[in-house]
Each structure stands twice: as structure tokens, then as C-alpha cells.
Structure 1
Amino acid sequence: MSGSGSQESAFSALRGQLQEAAASFAGGPDALEGILLGMVDDVDRAVREPLEIFPVCHHSPASALAMARRLREKQPKVVYLELCEDMAPLLTELRNCRLPVAVQAFAGDVDGFPAEWAPLSVVAPITEASAEYQAIAYALDTPGVELVLVDRSSDHVFQWDSRGGRTPQDADGDAGAPADGAPEAEAPLHGEAVGVGIGDLRPRFAELEEHLLRHGRVRHWSEWWHQYVEVPLGDGDHDVYRQVMFLIGSLFRRLAPGDVDRVRVDEDRERYMWTRMREHLAATGTDPEDCLYVCGAFHAASRVEEFGVHGADTFEISPRTATTWQYGLIPSSHAAIEAQFGLAAGSVSIASTEWTKSLERTRVQPYRLAGQAGARKSAARKVRGARAAVPPQEPPSPDRLSGFLRRPPVPDALDEAELLGWSVDIVRAARRNGYLASTADAIAVFETSILLAGMRDRAKPTPYDFQDAAVTCIEKDRVPGRRDVRRLVEIMMGGDRIGQVGYEALPPLARDVYDRLAPLGLKLQQRGVQRALLDMASRPELRACSDVLWMLRRLMPHGAARPIMGERRLGERSVQESWDLALGTHQRALIELGYEGVSLEQVLEQRLRREAYDPRATTATVLAAVEDATLYLGSRRLADELGTHALKVLAAERSVDGAPEVLRRVRALLAYHRTSEPVLPPWIESFVRTGYAHYCTLLPTAFRDEDATVGQVAAMLGFLFSMEGLALSLGCDRTQLELAVAQSHPDEPSRTALLWAAQVQLGTLSRAELRTRCDELLDNPLVVPSYPRYLSGFVHALEPVPGLADVVVEAVSNAFGRLPDAVLLPWLPLLITTLRSGAADLAPLLIREAGRIFPGRLEALDAWVPPWRMPQQADPFAARRAEPVPGRRGAALLPAHPVTCDAVAGLLGCTEGWPEPGAPAPSGAALLSAHPAACDAVARLLGCEGGWTAAAGVSPSGAALAVRHPETARALESLLTSA
């Protein structure tokens, strides 16, 4: 390479021209002159650098074509690539994939970053029509060539972002702005990952971009770049390409707004890359002449002191954090790249088509990785043998920029055959999608494309001109199908090509999933939905596949594994199942599972623990984790551990927000363990005891809490009443519940009705009293407007007290029967909306009870009398119990015959005598217990054998007593018989 003096002289003419232009435009030297001359200085500095800099724009066919040409000419021994340095080990796996794919760095657990940022993800999409892929393919398939990634690591991407104080999604300057019209449906292929690409060449100065689009007569930036950069540079030589890209990068850099954080990140990246390259050169002793530095044109026009092989070594690279990063390849797509990097919809597909056309036109042999899906084997052989045929390296080129800028654009000749083919193809595609297109429309599209190109000062219509013409001539006023004409043009130009990661490049977990699902006999790596039928009765080996599918349904996004027939609940297993599987479509999600563990069981256990031990986890969340551990893993150990943790979470809760979910899950777990195990797990017994005491404590507060809903309070009562039997058997005290209900004093009507239901359940309020209160509510004109809320409370009360269903039906029926239409109709909508929103799951119980009470036939309705209005039937046994029974005169016999009574008492050993007047008479039970011998004697006298004193030897003769006192015996027999 020649000295700097020749380069300075080479660009002196350009400097003079720009000075004259600045003076004529601005009327004298000013900031414009500084900007224009500074751009020339940037180009001069980059061209004179001993280590050749190759500026590129990401996903640009012109850059890829120039890269392929330069690699064959120069044959560098070391290729420095602007890509995260920690992604290097994955690049060899690209040969096992079908492009486009993205290299991903993923961190689920962060250490050194804010916890709310997790998970962290950085992706670098790669397409075949990109300069980075050409450099990677050349370096990996050419013996003796070393590929060195020199950009900041994935860890530093977020380190520097934290210093800037922005969110992770805005961390990288390469992420770009949202795409104009980019479809959001495909963006999840990259998700919320930070995008890293080589060469973000979009103006950061909004006014500049608007000026370029307006004067270029184009709609968006992708069209401007295609028209004014891609097409002119497509056939340009290496020197012209480099100097033009340097100039564009310098222009956009000098006209960027003063975003301090973004400028700092850009300059730190440049310092980082040049520091890494100098370290490698010093360690290996490589000659800079044998190296090639591939970076974005924006970073090529750098002004940092560390720029160049002779730059300052003043930048210190900070150590990485303790965050553990996982690496892998994920599928990408043209739409995902457009959405992430702010490109127009269809621009990457059009670029892919332009890349294919440029290869055919220029006969340039591109580089492809050996074994790459879709690559030709002959191409790899030509790549390896290309070194011997390379001409010697030319000396640095002089100023080619002046001539390029002064040269008027050469209009492309109209390719009528190509445009005619486009017109015919779009009409054919439109007819297949429901449009009434004809040959006349094809002619109209052809002519309109030429007309639009002429209006925009270009002789050859671009794909964007053709797209506008097709929309104008075919779409008319409506879209009959799922796709509009603009989308049909994008598909025709190449479509949204979606990549695929090969089996060998998948992480161990993904390969394990495919292996375990192999008995299904499906091609699960293909995109689209496939139906899987599992008959476990005839093929027991499919039970293992069913377990895998249920875990995938729990772990992966909706649609990856969707059950059509069959279910899995606690204690239930389906004999036959049917599934819709789309694992190929959701391959990225499956790959990211591999970052978390080596098997589905391990990942599921980790996630359940993370959900249960999350600081924001509620009792319902932990119980859900317990249920999933039992349902999907069958792990008693994990279920017991999480269940014990649920006790701690429940004891720490001070609200009742999760009471309905807690009640539902505890009931399900109780029912499962009662039917499947001989005894309940200890944690469930402890949970019932703790929950009983906990909800009794919170009940009075919940009745008055405005934030607690009536459904939540009803769920608390449901837990207390439904678990009462088990809780009392485990040592709980029912008095605690009674006191809690007694201390509850709600003000809101629905909660008041709920409290009445609880009192009925506890026995402190009778059902008759409850009916009376409901009647009083209907009789009070001031309460009638709020009567629907009382009914809502009664309906919610069916959760803790389902036996009140008949009372609720009676309350609703009385309202409809007694209230006039003028009162009933205004609050009827409120009643319906209240019941529908707050008690939809309890309505079936109410409906069943109404169906039991009301007549089943319409003609029986007129003669039907509600049960609560039927007259009370007399008790047939009441009169009989009130009639005096002859001979029942025991109380009168004793005072009427005092001598006889004394004789019997003396005979029986009763010596206490008659009680004083007014003293209470001793009860029969007390007399019997006080004189067991006398009781036994009377029993024997009356023929009742046995007794409690036979063992003591007390056995007076009943026959002798009857002979000596016949009247007394008859009187006692009559007295005791009547009693």
C-alpha cells in the first residue's frame, strides 16, 4: 500500500469540489463545509488503514456480491467479523441448518443485571444474501483461514445498556426502528431479543430520511436503498464500492442526532473491536495485509483514538458478569428480520430475489458452507480450489469517489420479459386468492408499472413500482381472501422464507423430544400442523409419548401441542388421545427449552420451583405447582416440598384475593389423595389446620373490606365449611368459626345475605327466620332497589351452603311474583348482569333446584302452588301426645297414700323422709343413682331380671314382697307401667 501522501493528493480534487459546493449553497464557509470535508476525511482515513476494512450493510445483496468478489481476489488469511465474540463456537453448526437462521445467546437466570430484565436474549440473523454469511462460509470451508469475531460479547450488550439506563429492548443500536407495515405475526420468531446485525445503515436523523424519501420519490427507506445504492453498486468495482459505503456511513454518522447514550455505545463498540484485533495481531504475528475486517459502514467511518492497527491502546474491556449464557441456533424468517431491524415488509424477500438475479448476471461464484441445505456440491469444490486461480492483489485504488459522484446515473434498459412474467404471475396468484383478475389486468399492471417508474425518474420498474401497480389495478375496493395484493407480490418475489435448524445442531433436550416422539411416526421437524392419534390400549408404548406431549403442552406456547381428544386430570388418564402438533413451527421455543436443562422433566421441575418460590407467588400459585408436579411428573417428593411451602405462603397472606382458587385446588388435591392413597399427606393435613385458623382470623375483616369481592368471601366460607369435618378431626376448634361469624358486621347487601347463610349453616339462624327476613326486604320500598344484590349474595352462598338452593329459588320467585313491573323491570338487568358476572359457575346449581321445584309442563303451571305457599299440615301425633293416658297418676299416688309410700320407702331403704314444703323434688335419675339397691329390688319385684347389684349379693325376694304388700305391688306396677 502506498503512503498517505498519495491518498491525500488523490482526494484533494474532491475536497476542492465540496468546498466550492458548500460556499455556493451556504454563501460562505460554515458548518456545511465542515460536514462535507469531514466526510472526505473519514473516507480518506478508512482507505489508508493498513488493515483492509470492508464496509457492509446487513442483508444487502450488493454487499454480499462485493464480499464474494473480494474474498476470491484477496484470499485473506484472517477474517475479523463484527459479531458477538462469544457466538463463535456456534457458526460451524450453520451447515446443519436451512437459512435463514439466527445465532442466539440466551440467559434465563441473571447475575449482575436487574432481575426484571430476565430472560436476556441476543440474536444475530443470518441469510444467504448477506455479507456476513459469505465471510463465514469462506473462512470455515477454506483451509488455513481463521475467523475471529471481534464485537462485544452478549454480556457486554446488556452491561453497557445498564450504564445507559434504558430497557433491554432498546439496548442495541442495530435494533432499528419499527418496520413500516412489518407484520407483527412473525416477530415472535425473535421475540423480545436484542438484534445484532452487521451494518445498520439507516439515517438516525429523521429530517434527513424524510428529505431523501421525498426527493427520491419513494415510500420507505428500503425502497430508497434499493434504488440509489443497491442498483448503482451492483456492478461497481471494489474500490468504488468501499469508498461509496465509507461516504454513506460518514454522512449518516455526522448527521446523527446528539443521543449521548447511543453515541457512547457506538464508540465503545468500535474501541472494543479495534482492541480485540490488535490483541490478535500481536498474539499471532499476522501481517495486517493478510487480514480483512468486515464491519458495518457506520462503524467503518469511525473517529475514535483506538481506530486502526496503530491506534491508541487506552480502552479497557470490563469483565463479564456471573450470568451463565446458553448458545444455540433458532429458526428465523424474512418477516422476523424485517420487523426487528426496521425494514419494510417484503424487503428481505426482494433482496433475496435480487441476490439470485445478480449471481446469474455477474457469474460470481458465491460461498456456501459444505453440506448446507440447498447448496450445490460443485460450489464447495470450486471454493476450495479458487485460491490458485486468484490474480495478484492490486495496489490501492486512487480517488474513485469523485468520478462516481459526477457520473450521471445510467438508466437500466427495460426488461420487458421479466416485467411481463411478473404481470402474468401476479394475475394468476390473484385469481387463486379470489380476485376477479383477467388478462386485461395483467396488461394494466404491465403498463402502470412502466408509468410509475417514469414518474419516479427511472426507466426500469423496480419490484416496488410493480407492487404499487398491482395494488392499483387488481385490488380494487376489497380483499376477497386472506391475503391482499401487496402480500401476494411479496410471496411471488420470494415469500417469507423461514429457516430450520437441523437435528444435529439442536440442543440435547430438543433431540431427546424428537427421539421420544419417534413412535408417533410423524415428521415433527416440518412446519405446519400434524395430527397424532394415540391408542394406548392397543399400543402401550405410546403412553410415554402421551407424557411427553402433556409436558410440552405445559411448557411450550399455545399451538405447539394441542390436545383434540383426551384430557389429563388428577386421578384420570385417557385411553385414547388425539393431538395437533406444530413443533416445527415452534422450533425456537423448543430450542430455548434446551437452554434450561437436558430433559423435559428437569425443565418442568425447575419452572415449578421458580413459580412456587417467586417472591410474588400466592398460595393459589404454589398449589397449582403442586398439582402440576403430581399431574405431569408424578413426583411425591416435589409435591410434598411445594405443599409445605404453600403453608408458609398462606400464613403470610393478609388478603383473600386467591381464596376461590385455593378452595378449588385444595378440594381437587384432597379428593385425589383420598381416593389414591390410604392416608393423607402430612402437608395437606397441616394446610387444612392452618387454613381453617387463617381464614377464621381474616373473616371479620373480609366482610368489611371494600377490596374483597363477595365471591372471595364466599370462597373463604366454602373452605371453612367444607373442610370443617377434617379440621375438627385434626384438632381445630369450631368455637373459633362461631366467634368469627359473630364478629362479622357487613354493610353491603350481598355480604349481608352471605352472612345470613353462614348463620343458617352454623345453626344460629333458622331457615324460617331467613325466609322472614327476605319477606321483610321485599316489603320495604327503600330496600327493593338493592334486592338484586341480596340475591347475588344468596347465590354466592351456594358455594359454602349448597343446601340453601331451595331458599334462593324461593327468594327469586317471590320477587318476581310480588313486585310490580314498574319496580321489577328497572332492576332486572342489574340482577342478570350481577348473577352472570359474579356467580356464573353457581347458576347451574340454582337452575337444577328450580327444575326440581317448578312443574315440568306448561299446562301444569296454572294449578301449581309453590311449596313455600302450601298450608302447613297438622301434626297427626300432636293430639295423641296431648291426651291424658289412664293410669298415669304416679305423681298423685304418692301424696295421696303417704303411709303406703313410707312403707315402700322403708322397705327399699329410703330413709331421707319427705322434703320440706317448697323444696324441689329430686329427679328420677338422681334417685336411681343414689339408691341402686332399692332400684334393683323394685326391678326384681316387677320381674325385671338382672341389674347392677347382683354382683354385690343384694337380692331381696320379689315374691315375698308381693305377697306381704299386694296393693302396693299393684300400685307400683301401674305407676311404672304408665311412666
Structure 2
Amino acid sequence: MTAPTAGGPFVGLRQQLTAAAAAFADSPDTLAGILAGMVDDVDRALAVPLEIFPVCHHSPASALAMVRRLREKQPRVIYLELCEDLQPLLGELGNCRLPVAVQAFASELDGHPSEWGPLSVVAPITEASAEYQAIVYALETPGVELVLVDRSTDHVFQWLPRAPEAQPEGALQMGVEGGRPGDDAALHGDAVGVEIGDLRPGFAELEAYLLHHGKVRHWSEWWDQYVEQPLAEADHDTYRQVMVLIGSLFRRLRPTRPERLDRDEDRERYMWTRMREHLAASGVDPGHCLYVCGAFHAASQVEQFGLASDAPAYEISPRTGTRWRYGLIPSSHSAIETQFGLAPGSVSIAAATWTKALKRSGLVPFRLDGQRGARARARGRGGRGAAAPATGLTDRLSGFLAAPPELTGLDEAELRGWCVDIVRLARRNGYLASTADAIAVYESSILLAGLRNRTRPTPYDFADAAVTCIEKDVVPGRRDVRRLCEILLGGDRVGQVGYEALPPLARDVLERLRPLGLDLEKRTVQRALLDLHADSRLAPCSDLLWILRYLLPHDAIRPIMGERRLGHRSIQESWDVALGRHQRALIELGYEGVTVEQVLEQRLRRAVRGPQATAAGALAAIEDAIRLLDSPRLVDELGARAVELLAAERTVDDAPNVLRRIRRLLAHYRATATALPAWYEAFVAAGYTHYCTLLPSAFVDEQAGVRQVGAMLGFLFSMENLALSLGCDRTQLELAVAQAHPEAPAKVALHWTARHQLGLLPLAELRARCAELLANPLVVPIFPQYLSGFVQALDPVPGLASFVVELMSTAFAQLPDPILLPWLPTLITTLREHGSELVPLLIREAARTFPGALPALDTWVPPWATTTPAPAPPVVSAGPVVGLLTDHPESVDAIATLLGCANPWRRHDQLGRTEVAALLTQHPDTAVAVADLLPAGSRTSRQG
């Protein structure tokens, strides 16, 4: 590290600061050390042969100083503090409209904690920034080399702590401070922000002190008032010395956090190592180079600082196996403000300040020729001349710090224009503003500037005055006056990535949607009408829109008319398309694959292979694959995984979702296919065995709800025929029900319905048990819980709908009001939340049971009140039927063959009696029923 000289141009300033510390500080040695160290940092940074150009992020003063220095020095090599692996993207800036952000994205992590994924790093770029001017100069000037020297995006996450609770920086910062709600403020998502020159006090107390004595509300306003404005017209030496001094101040006055300090110093070691390597490899003269970095890093204390240091090179660790993808995404002023904690509107004000300073100074900034909206090619660029001659280092700090603020007069025309425009804009947004308000804003702006010791009103003073004079007490529209001031002073400018800079997937999407006839690059919402019956060319567009609806945010592609479900496709569709507004999301899809179909397949596979995957989620992925992708191979793969997930589950929380989706898939396959796929049969067989195994414990487990147990029974009973045909044993279900001994009233009701469905509990006995419950005074208070169980039982046993209606009617008639009335709201909310599909069944059954007219209700008698025991069947001779079956045994032979019976018609007497005849004689009910179906002549002719 280069040591400061004992003499030098800053001797006088160092003595003045030391004397001031001794005169005013309680501990002069500490303060004198800090002040003298700051001067030493300036002396050391400016003495390096490789010119260090300190900047601040999105600072018009830094951009203006950069333009002046580039035209004067015309360097051959520019070293820029930016992630080195982002360099190939900078050439695509000419196809974009600023602001945009350079992005590195990784979804498949190798070497980083999986819970951090996906990883994203963005570096926003605006025209009013020094780094953009340096980039454009290097790209547009022949023979100039641009070298990015900061750590790679992979190292950004390598250097983060690996504690379980640690999260990538930027993801937690996003949206916490500053910014406005809305899409534009979230254009960067939860990406980690990379910026050049993050100049802000590290101590909260220092920042609060500066804001209080500066009479400002936010750090951005303080910086604009006390740094931006004084340095806008400063010469190069003054600018460099002041910026290094500020960087040294904030560097020395910051919290002692070792991990952050080590990370900042490692970045500086990294950058100086890269610059030394490039200088050694290229042999370029350091005097022809320019090192653009944040003012914080210009005052570095690391041993590798400078070119004369003998410290060994910093050992750079290799990158991990994570595969990074790179691209450009749209950015906006509000997104930059939100991510980096700037005051709302500060970047827009900086852009307006930049434009005004260019007009006032006559400077021609550097702009890319192919950039949309760019002006003519910068004049005076010419060829590169020799490096500016080195001049002796002089003390400009003393004069700058001692000089009084420049007494710039009031720009009456500018302030008057602001006041007139804000009143006009406020009236358009519903405010009752008038000319008197414009006058009040004008005078209040001047008054506020005077109270804050300013020679002229700043945009922040004008905004405060406008809020005070116009907003009053209510906001009539969705924009308040402060937001209107931001729009007036520059607006939330939103960038756009050009077609040529888009990834292949995004370009493919735009090409495939071209038949819609829409300008998809616009940020407005556009309506697309698709008549698929009249124009078959629109069918691929419809398929693509449904896939984008699944992959993109819901407000990017929104269907107005039409739907896509299993087995159904609309012939007419209407869509609201806003791809231009969600360009970032479309671009990030391009990092995952070449086509949207490939991305969809990958996401569906990840959904069923992840650690949180469930059988219900796998069935949902299968539905999406059938709806959106005509790929039986993928469906079979997802189905096999669904079988594995179901067999591995140990809880029944997702049983309702599994039942609903498996029924929907069964209806789809029965309507569209000749046979069920193999994975579906395997799922039903595995599910039958799985739920039979878990059924006894679910009946007694307090964590398993009534709806979950009812869904299990619904799966077992509704899929029973298919499961038995696949080789499952019904005895397993009977044993599971027999082993269940529930105690909760609702589950007891479910258990009774399961036994009834299995034929183990007749309806008469079930009705008798419920009557006993109503007759028991100790059970009456909890009878509504039994009733809730019977309602949930309608899913597995829909045939009990009439009995449930009967039971509910009896309960409403017999339960006392203190019990019934508090329970009714619970019943309604339970049906709405857990049994909405059961309500129509109950309503239809009640409509069949109760009278349709109100007058008939007085004389109506419930059908269950008149129910009498069924009479015993008469004992009749089964001879005619037996004779008929004996004389024509072909039908019985066919049935016997299917049942596996061999030679059932063995005769034993002359009358033709058989074993079947004896069986029919002992059990005549079936024979009587068949005899009633036969004509009378047939019965009499067969007698004997």
C-alpha cells in the first residue's frame, strides 16, 4: 500500500483539520486521526499512476465529470467496477431503451445452498450515470478496451455467510424502504442489486445528524443539495478530491461488522489483482488507463492497493458448478429506488437534473448509435489523442471546503412552469386545484427553500409545497400529489429490451403470436379475439397463450372468454395481453429453456420431484400436462411418480384433493380413451391398499379431520369396482372398517355409513341408532356433530342423501333452540368451506322430499313418518320358474361358466330337480321376482 507523503499539497489542510480537532473535540487525538486519515486517503488515491475515477451510483455530477474527463483524457483502457462475467452483455445495450438492467440468473444450483434458489443478480443502468458513459465510450470508440474487474456473480453468493438463517442480500431489502407499489417498482423481482458507488453513511446516527442539520427528510435529498449541486460544475481535480474525501469519511465512520468489512476489502483485492493481471498481460501504459470505481473503494486500505505495492496477488477462488444465464431485463426509476433504498422520485429528479445540466453546459454525452430514442452521434468524438499531460497535484479541497455556497439566483421561469403544470396535472386527476393554488405553491416553494437555508427551491421543496397547498385532506384518485410531482419532474421512466437483445425463447413467443395482429412490445393491455372455428391458424396461438398463462404472472396473460379444461376446448376466446409490461418475466423464461414447452415440462418435472412434492400435486401436474401439452410420455412419467408419492405418504391431509383430481381424470379418460392408462390403474390399486392401511388410524387420529376421512372412504368406495378388477381384495376394506374404533361423534357417523355401505349395518338399524341418540339427553348437545359426520358421508355414500335429509329434518324438529341455533352457523360455514359440492345433492333430495308449494306444507306428512315394516314375502311354489330354467339352461350355463361353476345341472330324479332347483326352492325371493316379470300365460303353461 502506498504511504502518504510527509509533505505534499495537503500539508496545510491536514494542519487546519488537526487544529480544529484539538479546539472543538473532547478527544482530539481520535478526531484528529480520522480527519488526518481522510486527507491521507485523498493524497494516496490521487498519487497512483493508474488514474482512479471515483463515482456515485446514478449521480448526474459523476456522469458530467466522466464525460468531461473522457473527452479530455481519451483513455485506451477503462477498468470498471462491475461483475466481470457480465461483460458480453454490454454490447446489447444498443438494442434497448434505458433504463435496463444487466442480469445473471441461475435456477439449478451447484455449490450454493438450494434454499437460496433461484439466484438473480442485476446491475441497473441509466443514461445519467458515469458507468454508462464509460461503457458507451469504450464500445463506440475504436481501439478502446473495456475491462470489468469486480468479482463474478458466482462470487457474490460465494462470499455470503452459509448460516441456515442467512439469505442473499437484496432479497430481504427489496421493497422494504422507499419505492412505490406497483409493477414498475418490482421489475427487478427479488434480485440482488449490484451498483457502482454506494455512498451512504454506515452509522444511522451519522445519517440522522446530517439529515437533521441539513433540514432534509431523506439521504437522496441531502446528497443532491450538498454534493450534486456543488460538484455539477466543478473541475476534474476538485471533483476527484471531494469524492475520495467523502468515500474516506463514510469508510472510516461505519459500524465494525467484520463480515461486511472483509467482504468489501476482498472486493478491492479482487479488483486490483485483475487490473494488475491485465496490465502485465497487455503491457499498456497505466497513464493511458482509467479505473472507474465507487468513491468508497477509491479510499481503500488493502495491501494490494496501487501499482507500487509489493503485496502478493489476491488468490481468487474458482467458481462453483452453478450454471449462470445472462440477459438484459427492463428496469425503471422506481425499481432502482426501491432496490437501493433511495427516496421515491430521486432517480427521476436525477434524470431531469442531468438533462438540464447538459443544456446549460453544452456537453454532448456519449450515446450508443443503435439505441432507441438516442440523439445523433456525439460530436467531437474523433480519434484518440495522447493522454492528457500529467500536472502537479494541487490542493483543491481547502478552497472547496472553505468557499461559501454559490448564490445561484431563482429561476423564476422554471419554478413558474412547475407550478402551472402541477395544477393542470392535479385537475386531470380529480383535484379541485386552481390558479390560486399555483400561486400558493410558488410562494410556498420559495418560503420552504428560505427556511432550509437554500438559495433557490429544489424539486424536493417544490414537491413539499405542492402537497401542502393542493392535496388538502383527501386523495380523489389513485395518485397523490407527491406522485404527480414525480411524474411532472421526469416520471417513472421504464426501459425496454429490444427484439435483437431478447433470448431465443422470447423471440419465439413474439413470432408465434404474430397472427394475433398485436404490437406485443407495447406496455399497454391489448385485447385479442380468437375465433378458432373460423380461422384455424389461431389454434397454435391459443395453445401458446394457455401455456404462457401457466408460466407468467396472471396479469400478463388473462383470459376473458373461454376456458381450457380436461376434455374441453373453447371455439372462441378473448384475451387481455400485456407481455410488454411483463417483459422481465418473459426474458427469465428464456433462461430456463429454448421453448415454452420445454420450460413447462421442466417445471412439471420439478413439481413432482421436489422435496415438498405430494400425490395431489403430482395429479395436478398430470392435469396440466394433459391440458397444455399433448405428451402421453410425460403424463406416464408424472403418473408413475404420483404412484410413488402416494405410497410414501404417511398422512391423509391431501386425501380430498387426491379424490377430486382422480375422479376428474377418470371422467376424462372414460370420455376420450378406450382404456385407462397403466399409471392410472397402478395409482388406483396403490391408493386402495394405501387408504385401507391408514383408515383405522385416521379414524382415531385427532389430526385427521372428518373431511379427510370422508375423502378416504370416498376413494375406497368410488374406486372399489376398478380396484377389485385390478386384483385388490375387498376383505382388506372390511377388516380396516372393523378395526376402526372412532370416538369423535362426526367420525362415528362416518364409521356407521361405511359399515352400511359394506352391508354390515342395515338402514333400519342405522335409523334406530340415530333415534337412540336423539332420545338420550346426554347425547343431544353433541348430536349436531353426528349430523356433520353424516353430511360429510354423502361423498363416499351418496345413496344416503334421503336418510340425511330425514335425519336433519328430525333434528331440526326435536333439538331444543339453545342447542340448534348456535350450531346452525357452524353447519353453514362447514358446508361452505369443506362440503360445497355436497350442498346441491342435499338440495335436490330435499326438493324431491318436501312439497313444492307452501299451502301443501300444512297437510304434508313426512314419508319416513308413515314408513311401516315391509311385509314378509309370500311363500309360493317355485315350480314354474324352476321348470322354465330347467328346460332352457343355456343362460344359466353361461352365467355358471363365468362364475367358474362346472356342470351345475346334475339331475337326481325323474322330475328334473337339480341342485339349482333345490336352491331356488329354499330361497324363493329371486324366483318370485323373475316370475312376476314373465307373462301370465308362461306361468300357467309351466305349472306342474
Match of 2:629 in 1: 633
CA distance in 2, matches of 1:472, 1:677: 70
Change (3 A) 1:172 1:648: closer
Q: Tell me how far 1:235 sits from its aligned partner.
A: 0.9
Residue matched to 1:242: 240
Which one of the candidate residues 263, 280, 283 is aligned to 2:281?
283
Q: How does 1:484-633 map to 2 (within 5 A)?
A: 484-633=480-629
Cross-structure match for 1:303:
301
| SS of corresponding position for 1:372 | coil
Show structure 2 runs of 5+ residues with no match: 879-903, 915-940
Superposed CA deviations along residues 749-791 of structure 1, whole A, max 9, x for unmatched, are: 1111111111111111112222222222222222222222222
**Contact 2:86 2:104 survives alignment (8 Å):** yes
Which whole-Å CA distance do the structure 1 matches of 2:652 and 2:341 have between them? 46
Q: Does residue 186 of structure 1 match 2:184?
A: yes
After superposition, the Cα gap between the structure-2 partners of 1:861 and 1:176, relative to the gap in structure 1 and judged at 3 Å, is closer
After superposition, residues 96-495 of structure 1 pair within 5 angstroms as: 96-162=95-161, 167-170=166-169, 178-180=176-178, 182-183=180-181, 185-311=183-309, 312-379=311-378, 382=379, 384-385=381-382, 387=384, 392-393=388-389, 395-495=391-491
* AA at the equivalent of 1:119: P
Contact kept, 8 Å, 2:72 with 2:388, in 1: the verdict is yes
Once the two structures are TM-superposed, the CA of residue 873 in structure 1 deviates from its matched residue by 8.4
**Is 1:676 aligned to residue 672 of structure 2?**
yes
Partner-residue secondary structure (3-state), 1:169: coil
Q: 1:897 corresponds to which residue?
A: none
- What corresponds to 2:93 in structure 1? 94
Which residue of 2 is the match for residue 967 of structure 1?
none
Q: 1:688, 1:726 within 8 Å by CA — same for their partners in 2?
A: yes
More deviation, 212-221/637-646? 637-646
The answer to whether the 8 Å contact 1:72/1:386 transfers is no
Go from structure 1 to structure 2 and tell me whether the alpha carbon gap of 1:780 and 1:172 turns closer, same or farther (over 3 Å shift): closer
With the length of structure 1 as denominator, give the TM-score of the two structures. 0.88
Pair 245,785 (structure 1): closer, same or farther in 2 beyond 3 Å: same
Paired position in structure 1 for 2:933? none
Show the 5 A alignment for 1:757-772. 757-772=753-768
| Alpha-carbon displacement from aligned partner over 1:454-479 (angstroms, at most 9, x marks no partner) | 00000200000000000000111111
- Cα 1:760–1:191 change in 2 (3 A) is same
* Structure 1 residue 706 corresponds to structure 2 residue 682: no
- The alpha carbon displacement at 1:169 in A equals 3.0
Answer whether contact 1:4 1:48 (CA < 8 A) is retained.
Answer: no
Gapped runs of 5+ residues in structure 1?
A: 886-927, 939-975
Change in CA separation of 1:696 and 1:551 when aligned onto 2, cut-off 3 Å: same
> Would the aligned equivalents of 1:612 and 1:622 in 2 still touch at CA under 8 Å?
yes
1:37 maps onto 2:36 in alignment = yes
Distance 2:414 2:169 in 1: 41
Q: Distance in 2 between matches of 1:690 and 1:255?
A: 66
2: CA distance between counterparts of 1:769 and 1:525? 71
Aligned partner letter, 1:307: F
Asked if the contact 1:789–1:831 (Cα under 8 Å) also holds between the matched residues in 2, the reply is: no
Q: 1:936 to 1:823 in 2, by over 3 A?
A: closer
Task: Please tell me whether residue 869 in structure 1 is matched to residue 869 in structure 2.
Answer: no
> 1:957 is matched with which residue?
none
Q: Summarize the Cα distance change of 1:937–1:365 in structure 2 as closer, same or farther, 3 Å threshold.
A: closer
Post-superposition shift, 1:392?
4.6
User: Counterpart of 2:45?
Assistant: 46
What's the offset of the Cα at 1:309?
A: 1.8
The size of the alignment, in residue pairs, is 892
Q: Is the 8 A contact 2:116 2:168 kept in 1?
A: no
Give the 3-state SS of the residue equivalent to 2:79 in structure 1.
Answer: strand
Return the alpha-carbon distance in structure 2 between the equivalents of residues 308 and 171 of structure 1: 31
Q: Which amino acid aligns with 2:254?
A: A
Quick one: distance in 2 between partners of 1:303 and 1:499?
A: 38
Contact 2:273/2:314, CA 8 A, preserved across alignment = yes
* TM-score normalised according to structure 2 size: 0.91
Larger Cα-atom Rg: 1
Q: 1:377: how far off?
A: 2.4
AA aligned opposite 1:209: E
2:704 is matched by which residue type in structure 1? A
User: 2:717·2:796 contact (CA, 8 Å) conserved in 1?
Assistant: yes
**1:647-726 superposed matches below 5 A:** 647-726=643-722
One-letter code of the match for 1:385? Answer: G
Distance 1:182 1:7, change over 3 A: farther
Relative to structure 1, is the Cα distance of residues 571 and 836 closer, same or farther in structure 2, using a 3 angstrom cutoff? closer
Partners of 1:522 and 1:599 lie apart in 2 by 21
Provide the residue aligned with 1:934 in structure 2.
910
Which residue among 740, 746, 768 is the counterpart of 1:750? 746
Residue aligned with 1:706, SS: coil
Q: Deviations over 1:845-902 (max 9, x none)?
A: 1122112212222222212222212353875x96xx37999xxxxxxxxxxxxxxxxx
- CA offset at residue 697 of structure 1? 0.6
Change (3 A) 1:454 1:818: same
Runs (4+) of structure 1 exceeding 6 A deviation are 3-7, 882-885, 928-931, 976-979
1:618 and 1:883 mapped to 2: Cα distance? 59
Q: 8 Å contact 2:4–2:44 — kept in the other structure? A: no
User: How far apart in 2 are the matches of 1:17 and 1:609?
Assistant: 70
CA distance in 2: counterparts of 1:674 and 1:874, whole angstroms? 40
Rounded to whole Å, the distance in 2 between the matches of 1:850 and 1:843 is 10
Q: Quote the Cα distance in structure 2 between the aligned partners of 1:827 and 1:447.
A: 66
The 3-state SS of whatever aligns with 2:575 is strand
Change over 3 Å in CA distance of 1:19–1:486 after alignment to 2: same
Amino acid at match of 1:818: Q
Write the mapping of 1:830-845 to structure 2, written as runs, cut at 5 A. Answer: 830-845=826-841
Whole-Å Cα distance in 1 between the matches of residues 827 and 691 of structure 2?
29
Whole-Å separation in 2 of the counterparts to 1:139 and 1:806: 83
Distance 1:930 1:608, change over 3 A: closer
**In the alignment, is the contact (CA less than 8 A) between 1:177 and 1:341 conserved in 2?**
no
Corresponding residue number in structure 2 for 1:17: 16
Q: CA separation in 2, counterparts of 1:72 and 1:9?
A: 29
CA distance in 2, matches of 1:8, 1:165: 51
* Partners of 2:742 and 2:313 in 1: CA distance: 72
Say if 1:142 and 1:383, in contact at 8 Å, map to a contact too: no
Q: Is the alpha carbon distance of 1:751 and 1:76 closer, same or farther for their aligned partners in structure 2, counting shifts above 3 Å?
A: same
Q: Offset at 1:808?
A: 1.2
The one-letter code of the counterpart of 1:863 is T
Structure 1 145/933 Cα, relative in aligned 2: closer, same or farther at 3 Å? Answer: same
Q: Which amino acid aligns with 1:233?
A: L
Q: Secondary structure at the match of 1:377?
A: coil
Q: Return the alpha-carbon distance in structure 2 between the equivalents of residues 471 and 385 of structure 1.
A: 48
Q: Cα distance, 1:7 vs. partner?
A: 9.1
Instruction: Determine if contact 1:158/1:171 at 8 Å carries over to the other structure.
Output: no
Q: Deviations over 1:15-65 (max 9, x none)?
A: 000011000012563211110000001011101111000000001111111
Deviation by residue 1:774-815 (Cα, 9 ceiling, x = unmatched): 222222222222222222211111111111111111111112
CA distance in 1, matches of 2:195, 2:380: 25
- SS of 2:910 mapped into structure 1: helix
| Alpha carbons of structure 1 residues 864 and 159: separation in structure 2 relative to 1, 3 Å | same
Is the contact between residue 349 and residue 496 of structure 1 (CA under 8 Å) also seen in structure 2? yes
SS at match of 1:81: strand
Inter-partner Cα distance in structure 2 for 1:739 and 1:874:
31
CA distance in 1 between counterparts of 2:605 and 2:791 reads 37
Q: Is the 8 A contact 2:659 2:711 kept in 1?
A: yes
